[in-house]
Amino acid sequence: MKKITSKTTLAKIIAKKGATKILAENGVPCLSCPMAAMEIDKLKIGDVCKMYGLNLKKILKELDLIK
């Protein structure tokens, strides 16, 4: 997978082993939202962080540490 950026979709991110745990630990609520499940391939991590006031830089840094 290419480097994760603010424009990477949640679907691509959660396909990476261990990413779901990092997202949950950082308060990303979309993982369990039934509405998000229908559009997870369109939701970009940058947009989600902006909507919920989450620290995008911190999340991206942690996600990029996953092998």
Q: Give the structural domain span for 44.
A: 10-64
Asked if the structure places residue 52 within a domain, the reply is yes
The whole-angstrom separation of Cα 34 and Cα 58 is 26
Q: What is the pLDDT of residue 17?
A: 93
Round the CA-based radius of gyration of the chain to a whole number and report it. Answer: 11
Asked if the structure places residue 45 within a domain, the reply is yes
Among residues 9, 31, 20, the alpha carbon closest in space to that of 63 is found at 20
pLDDT tens digits along 4-60? 999 999 999 999 999 999 999 999 987 777 777 788 889 999 999 999 999 999 999
Asked if the structure places residue 2 within a domain, the reply is no
Please list the alpha-helical segments (H only) found in the chain: 10-14, 19-25, 34-39, 45-52, 56-64
Asked if the structure places residue 4 within a domain, the reply is no
Which band of pLDDT confidence, cut at 50, 70 and 90, is reported for residue 61?
Answer: very high
Sign of CA dihedral 44, 41, 1, 14: positive
Q: What is the pLDDT of residue 1?
A: 60
Q: How many domains does the chain have?
A: 1
Asked if the structure places residue 5 within a domain, the reply is no
